[in-house]
Structure 1
Amino acid sequence: MNRFKFLLFFFVFQVALASSAWAQKQFKVLLVTTTKGWHHESVHAGVLALQQLGARNFFDVVLWEDPNGFTDKYLEQFKAVVFLNTTGDIFDENQQKVLERFIQGGKGFVGIHSASDTEYEWPWYTKMVGRMFHIHPTIQTAKLKVLDPKFPGLQGFADDKQWTEELYEFGPEKTTGLNYILSVDETTYNPKVDWGRVKGEGMGKLHPLAWYHNYDGGRAFYTALGHLPTNFSEPAFQNHLLAGIFWAATGKK
């Protein structure tokens, strides 16, 4: 009887260990959607798509909902922070320092679309994003160009992929060492726009839409795609986001 009990205990213990290992996801990312300006209709679609992306690829996507919960202690569980269509000044000085320490500790950042229209007055953040939003023309369809086929997740944009987007024009680089991986061909759409207080003429031969770089001890990835809700159901874009998130969270391509 004692031997039977021992074997039963051993079996249950092994099952518990296996279950615990199976429950342990690859990593967690924190998803921030706060806006103090324009609210993108695609935010809801983006949240669902990223959560499903995590479920399919065995990592957790946690939506940040507590305004007072952005602390060093809370962020310990995450490997990356994702800004999905954020706008304006969304963090106070204490929260800014928390994100700075998070990145300096070797963690990652992913910015999607209007993450480059966020926190203009925070120099550390603008350097992390790399370039900030300047202006955009009306939504148009244009051809995309893969600049670095060695970076994963870009297969769906090969062969001059046509893409319908709110195509951002960016200001100058805020830092050096940006690795551009995706651009748009300005000859395939009209980049000119005039808002009165600001104008856009396009960016010329190199009009980047996505890039990554090592930054202040951590990693940062940015993509300008993601204005339309339908973008997030496109496999090409989902693979693009997965590659960026995986690199930001793990440092692996």
Structure 2
Amino acid sequence: MKLVLAIFINLTFMGELMAKQFNVMLFTKTNAWHHESILDGVTAIKKLAEKHHFDLEWHEDPNQFNEENLNRFDAIVFLSTSGDVFNHTQKQAFKQFIQRGKGFVGIHSASDTEHNWTWYTKLVGRRFIVHPEIQTAKLDLVNHDFPGLSWFPKNQLWTDEWYEFGPELSNKLNYLLAVDETSYEPRANMGDVIGHGMGNFHPIAWYQYYDGGRSFYTALGHTSAVYRNSYFLDHLFGGIYWAATAK
């Protein structure tokens, strides 16, 4: 009997040691533009989960957004989602998730998702407006104190799809990265939408506390190659870590 009890205690202790540090949902639903890099992003985030010992579930079904299911997660990552993806009930479940003190991570076209849902656009912080052709530009570090940015270069050349954003939809945004518009051609023409750039300060990544929870957004991540970039992966894990833990 003592042996059985000892084995039980040991297995319980080992289970606690092996428990993952937090639980994340990865969501990739698209109802508009579908980025070819999504699968590369999924693979990269799965590797981050393995490397940093957190649980990850990948879903494309918006029916996963119900209160009972979302209670299992600490943060939800929107990887290049697009268009209108939720019905009213699903919106309410996601809103309550954030209000319970949980975290959101938006990557690239997460800012081109649910344009007409005011609460969501404020959660992201800014709306995507337009972008020029993919170009190499100078990426500037604004704040190195945020998780994942300690070793990020102050300035570096970076090739991506540089989003132009509308005005701030929240006054709580804390900026992390910006792109130097003098280093590339920011003018864009997408038919009925014309872009002229954002001027002297063109933010690319930011975070905020919002409606009881946390929100991190990065506009980087259009190309497949960026998901093999160690600086980007550190930046991305820093956002996931902060959104899930508030540390």
How many aligned residue pairs are there? Answer: 247
Q: Which residue of structure 2 lines up, in the alignment, with residue 38 of structure 1?
A: 33
Residues in 1 aligned to 2:30 and 2:177: alpha-carbon distance in whole angstroms: 26
Query: Is 1:248 matched up with 2:236?
Result: no
Q: Which residue of structure 2 lines up, in the alignment, with residue 170 of structure 1?
A: 165
User: Amino acid of the residue matched to residue 223 of structure 1?
Assistant: T
Q: Is the 8 A contact 1:53 1:242 kept in 2?
A: yes
Residues in 1 aligned to 2:238 and 2:107: alpha-carbon distance in whole angstroms: 13
Residues in 2 aligned to 1:18 and 1:35: alpha-carbon distance in whole angstroms: 42
Q: Is the 8 A contact 2:62 2:85 kept in 1?
A: no
User: Which of 98, 101, 106 is matched with 1:111 structurally?
Assistant: 106
Q: Deviations over 1:204-236 (max 9, x none)?
A: 111000000000000000000000011111110
TM-score normalized by structure 2?
A: 0.97
- What are the equivalent positions in structure 2 for 1:22-171 lying under 5 Å apart? 22-171=17-166
Secondary structure (helix, strand or coil) at the match of 2:175 reads: strand
Q: Choose 64-73 or 76-85, whichever is displaced more.
A: 64-73
User: Amino acid of the residue matched to residue 132 of structure 1?
Assistant: R
Residues in 2 aligned to 1:66 and 1:150: alpha-carbon distance in whole angstroms: 35
Residues in 2 aligned to 1:172 and 1:218: alpha-carbon distance in whole angstroms: 22
Residues in 2 aligned to 1:66 and 1:160: alpha-carbon distance in whole angstroms: 39
Secondary structure (helix, strand or coil) at the match of 1:151 reads: coil
After TM superposition, give the deviation of residue 11 of structure 1 in Å.
Answer: 2.9
User: Amino acid of the residue matched to residue 192 of structure 2?
Assistant: R
Q: Is the 8 A contact 2:126 2:168 kept in 1?
A: yes
Secondary structure (helix, strand or coil) at the match of 1:176 reads: coil
User: Amino acid of the residue matched to residue 116 of structure 1?
Assistant: S
User: Amino acid of the residue matched to residue 144 of structure 2?
Assistant: P
User: Amino acid of the residue matched to residue 79 of structure 2?
Assistant: L
Q: Deviations over 1:50-97 (max 9, x none)?
A: 011011101011112444232100011100111000000001111000
Secondary structure (helix, strand or coil) at the match of 2:225 reads: helix
User: Amino acid of the residue matched to residue 133 of structure 2?
Assistant: T
Structure whose alpha-carbon radius of gyration is higher: 1
Q: Deviations over 1:151-200 (max 9, x none)?
A: 12124541311110000000011111100010001111110112231111
Secondary structure (helix, strand or coil) at the match of 1:154 reads: coil
User: Amino acid of the residue matched to residue 60 of structure 1?
Assistant: D
- What are the equivalent positions in structure 2 for 1:222-241 lying under 5 Å apart? 222-241=217-236
Query: Runs of 4+ in structure 1 displaced over 3 angstroms?
Result: none
Gaps of 5+ in 1: none
The sequence identity of aligned pairs, in percent, is 51
Q: Which residue of structure 2 lines up, in the alignment, with residue 196 of structure 1?
A: 191
TM-score normalized by structure 1?
A: 0.95
Q: Is the 8 A contact 2:29 2:62 kept in 1?
A: no
Q: Is the 8 A contact 2:64 2:70 kept in 1?
A: no
